Amino acid sequence: MPKQVQLSDDAYATLAALKRPAESFSDTVRRLAASGKDLGALRRLGPRLPGWDDEAFHRRGAEADRKALGRLLRGRTTAGSRR
């Protein structure tokens, strides 16, 4: 379900500058959040949320990546053994 988000004019300009031609704003936010490389650009979008913890966020993301990679590798091994 779509949600409305209010951005300041400068935050909108920053997000619009990061948006690729065929990309929706939602896709842009997803790409930036998933990459980890462009989070600095997201920081310029507005004030930090109370209680936000960058390190915890990155730890959870890294753990999720490790689990996903493990599932992919296990699936590959399982699929390879069926051949």
- Please tell me the pTM assigned to this model: 0.43
Structure-block tokens of residue 30: 């997803």
Q: Please state, for a pLDDT cut of 70, what percent of the chain lies above it.
A: 73
Distances (CA, A) of 41 to 6, 7, 34, 44, 54: 17, 14, 13, 6, 14
Buried b (16+ CB within 10 A) or exposed e, 6-22: eeeeebeebbeebbeee
Residue 13 has pLDDT above 60, yes or no: yes
Q: What is the pLDDT of residues 18-57, one digit of tens each?
A: 899 999 999 988 887 777 665 666 666 666 667 777 778 7
Residue 65 has pLDDT above 60, yes or no: yes
Could you say which DSSP state residue 49 is in?
A: P
